Amino acid sequence: MSHRSAVLLMLLVTLMWSSAGVVTRHLDAARGFEITFWRSAFNALALVVILGVMRGKALLGSLQGRAVWASGACWAVMFTAFMVALSLTTVANVLVTMSLSPLFTALFARMFLHQPIPARTWWAIAVAGAGIGWMFGGQLGGPLLGVFVALGVPLAAATNWCLLQKVGQGADMLPAVLIGALLSMIVTLPLAWPLQASTHDLSLLALLGVFQLAIPCLLAVRLARELPSHEIALLGQAETLLGVLWAWLFAGEHPGGAALIGGSLVLAALIANEALAPPSVKPALKNA
């Protein structure tokens, strides 16, 4: 896979990830932990089918190993903390907190993988972070519990991307996404009871489980073999920009001038980082 193809595919992943906010705005009765439970349950079901076709009888055996379970725990935190945080604080607070992901990932990659971070990427992280801060400037406030819960997302994501880089092609890490879905489902079920989701809610949450989690997360694990961890995290910032756009177009939430200016900064940072990359640059995964 060429670097350009990997970047485009990662942008497709962020496109699919970005649908969560706008879809949850159209739910009837499901709230908080129940949303997390059903989304993770449908995610797990889809992964059992997809990985069952891909791995066959070897699927159960592939659910072993410390690296797979460590990555699965990271996925579980990401799946759960994001939706729970949305029930505790505003979408803006959650997205601002998640924007720390590229910085955490770059720092972890430098500390634990000894990966050199190009100056252009540091600048891109700074500009993208400033853009997201501009988008939601003045909105950060309210209960701090939601912000602390949301902080689990960028920390778990940074750990996960670095772990995927570390194992490289030496382990089958796709089943880790299934482990994460199952752990999230098990943890949130008692907290979600009694279940109140309508048929309409279940149909939307099924779409999220399959197309917003299962498929893009499997693609992201595959792309960790092609792109360095800090670049994956930086490209993931497009999720914030797209999430605001979908809420504007399909939920009637006008982003305002600050969001448009901040979103332009994010987009410019992503484009500049890729445009300035030397054509020969390839992530040294086998040496990680």
In this prediction, residue 285 carries a pLDDT of: 38
Distance between the two ends of the chain, CA-based, in angstroms? 19
Question: Which carries the bigger pLDDT value, residue 235 or residue 259?
Answer: 235
Tell how far CA 181 is from the center of its chain: 13
Tens of pLDDT, residue by residue over 141-165, are 555 677 788 889 989 999 998 998 8
Measured in whole angstroms, the distance separating CA 198 from the mean position of its chain's CA atoms is 26
Residue carrying structure tokens 């607070």: 93
Q: What is the model's pLDDT at position 288?
A: 30
- Note if the pTM is more than 0.95: no
Give just the sign of the alpha carbon dihedral 55, 184, 144, 32. positive
Closest CA to 260 of 272, 252, 268: 268
pLDDT value of position 103: 78
Q: Where does the pLDDT of residue 135 fall: very low under 50, low under 70, confident under 90, or very high at 90 and above?
A: low
CA nearest to 48, candidates 69, 63, 37: 63
pLDDT at 260 over 50: yes
CA 72 to CA 176: how far, in whole Å?
A: 4
| Higher local confidence (pLDDT), 19 or 97 | 19
